[in-house]
Structure 1
Amino acid sequence: MRCDKKSMLLYAVTDRRWVGRQTLCEQVECALKGGATCIQLREKELSDADFLREALDIKKLCRKYHVPFIVNDNVKVAIECGADGIHVGQHDMQAEDVREYAGENMILGVSVQTVEQAVLAEKNGADYLGVGAVFTTSTKPDADAVPRDMLKAICGAVSIPVVAIGGINRHNISQLSGTGVDGIALVSAIFGSEDIERECRNLRALSKEVMRT
């Protein structure tokens, strides 16, 4: 499976800090029921064995709802669980090395913050880009902000889909109108919600409005 721009519309990134009343799998299924078009499993603390078990469970859910399943950072787990893709940052394995290791059929996402990084990532085999943080975010409080003009410039410099991430919620999502982004990636706005399914329905509708402008 390679990257379809439509699957980037409402990109849900998991965060274990919100697990409590529901398990992570239950939360992910609520997001899928609400219209999430892509799921990224992000785990920084689990062992590879636990990460793999969790990835296999969430992959099954994604197959059920026919959406791409992306693993963050851990290329080994992504390959072993049969994920649709892998997402890496600027300080993880380099995009060209990931592509060589994972093969041509796996979706490759790369986090970027500048036009230079974006162009290089596309050249090295990225299928889509994650750009952020576009707003202040509690998920990565130390993340550098990406100004609107830079986000717009990145969108204009590449031919692959661009997904905005970082501090996005229902109250500020409209500020991304006119930037050229192809999708919105959210963490706490989805998984920190009291009603994940309903919030995803609302966010998907708002995302569609952003894409039209």
Structure 2
Amino acid sequence: MSLPRLLVLTDRTQCAGPLVQAVATAVDCGARAVVLREKDLPEDARRELGDQLRAVLDPVGGLLIHGGLAGGSGSEAVHLSGSDPFPAVRPRLVGRSCHSADELARAGEEGCDLVTISPVFATSSKPGYGPALGLDGLARLLPGAPRAFALGGIRPEDVPGCLGAGAYGVAVMGAVMRDPRTMRGYVSALRDLPAGEATYPT
């Protein structure tokens, strides 16, 4: 399964308007992979929201990843929290949120296809997981990890540093949820790397 270098994580509480519209704008600006979180929603409502997001992503060949096991039942792609058990029936793509070396080791042993590592920088979107790793801390965690996406306070200007530390890509939530047009900055940052290192699109 193709995996872009840029993940967008949803959080409707940070959107100025409807979540589907925010994601549609982000897709128009270059987003090609979205992790549907919204774990507080009833299963039926979350499934309906997933169908709406897939309708936005399918025309551009985008990827919808369901956050957690419940919302991802029958999905080809899921992203697990640190405490979620590994699915009994393996989807085609499995990711896991990680915050420590032990969690990364577990994800590797499970055969996860990707991980998010956070928080790289201070962020109000994911409190309670500090202190921030910084680029040096990120680099120390990455050797041997599955394809890793740096998450937490990532700005477009941070993209080269995160990839230079060894991350496969970057994941963003708050900035894009608050203003989906900022997606253009992340896409440009991935395209504007030195010749031979540009990583967008993949």
Q: TM-score range by the shorter chain?
A: 0.7 to 0.9
Partner of 2:37: 42
Give, in whole Å, the separation in 1 of the partners of 2:103 and 2:137. Answer: 12
Letter in 2 for 1:58: L
Distance 1:116 1:89, change over 3 A: same
| The one of 68, 81, 89 aligned to 1:89 | 81
SS of the aligned residue for 2:27 comes to: helix
SS of the aligned residue for 2:70 comes to: helix
Partner of 1:201: 184
SS of the aligned residue for 1:138 comes to: coil
Alignment size in residue pairs: 195
Contact 1:111 1:129 (8 Å CA) reproduced: yes
1:191 Cα deviation after fit: 1.4
SS of the aligned residue for 2:35 comes to: strand
Give, in whole Å, the separation in 1 of the partners of 2:15 and 2:98. Answer: 28
| The one of 131, 149, 152 aligned to 1:163 | 149
Partner of 2:22: 27
| The one of 99, 111, 123 aligned to 1:137 | 123
1:210 Cα deviation after fit: 6.0
Give, in whole Å, the separation in 2 of the partners of 1:84 and 1:208. Answer: 28
CA-to-aligned-CA distance 1:88-130 (integer Å, 9 cap, x gap): 1212x12xx32x23x2x43111111233322321221200010
Structure 2, unmatched stretches of 5+, are none
Percent sequence identity over aligned pairs? 21
CA-atom RMSD in angstroms: 2.2
Contact 2:32 2:57 (8 Å CA) reproduced: no
SS of the aligned residue for 2:7 comes to: strand
Letter in 2 for 1:169: R
Partner of 1:124: 110
Distance 1:182 1:210, change over 3 A: farther
Distance 1:210 1:135, change over 3 A: farther
Letter in 2 for 1:154: L
| The one of 141, 165, 173 aligned to 1:154 | 141
Q: What TM-score does the superposition give when structure 2 sets the normalisation length?
A: 0.86
1:189 Cα deviation after fit: 1.4
Give, in whole Å, the separation in 2 of the partners of 1:177 and 1:76. Answer: 32
Structure 1, unmatched stretches of 5+, are none
1:14 Cα deviation after fit: 0.9
| The one of 60, 73, 76 aligned to 1:79 | 73
Considering fraction of residues, name the structure with more helix.
1
